[in-house]
Structure formats: structure tokens, C-alpha cells
Amino acid sequence: MRRVARYNVTTEEMSGASGKVTHFEGSPIPTSFAIVLMLGIAAYFGALGEHLWFGTWTFGGFTLHPLVLIYAISGSLMISRIRIPKP
């Protein structure tokens, strides 16, 4: 909802004199589908739990699966100010 709300609020600012929005801010939501698809493929090949691709990292008693970083990066890009042209 945050992305939709921001889009609605900034539409006028992004449209300029033409009255048409020429770009999106942040990466599009369907890019997260690629991450879900990747995890689906991992599950299909049995790469779950301890067998998850790229193993695990341990920091100060916490265990981190590096694939979690992909979700963090994707989420950050979705709320970023990166301009992506509209088709």
C-alpha cells in the first residue's frame, strides 16, 4: 500500500507540464515474483532448510541465509527514488 499511496501523492509532481507520468519511482512490484519463483525452484530441487542455496552465515549467534538479503534489497529498491521509464 505504501507504494500506491506514494504514487498517488507524487503523480502530479512526476507528470510535469505534459500531464502524463513518464516513469515509476522504485522497482516494479512484479520483480518480487522473480524472487518467489527462485524460491519455488529451490523447493523443487530440495534446497530448503539447511540445504538452502549459498548455505548460512552466523553472526553473533544469529544465523542468516544469504537469500534473505535478496528480499531486503528488493524491498529497498521498491521504495527507492530510482526512476524507471513507463512503457
Q: What is the pLDDT of residues 28-42, one digit of tens each?
A: 777 788 888 988 998
**CA–CA gap between residue 5 and residue 87 (Å, rounded):** 21
Q: What is the DSSP letter of 20?
A: S
Distance between CA 35 and CA 70 in Å, rounded?
8
The one-letter amino acid at 33? F
Which whole number is the average pLDDT over 5-16?
56
| Beta carbons of 29 and 75 less than 8 angstroms apart | no
Q: Is-above-0.75 flag for pTM? A: no
Q: Which residues pair with 56 in a beta bridge?
A: none
23 or 9, which is more confident: 23
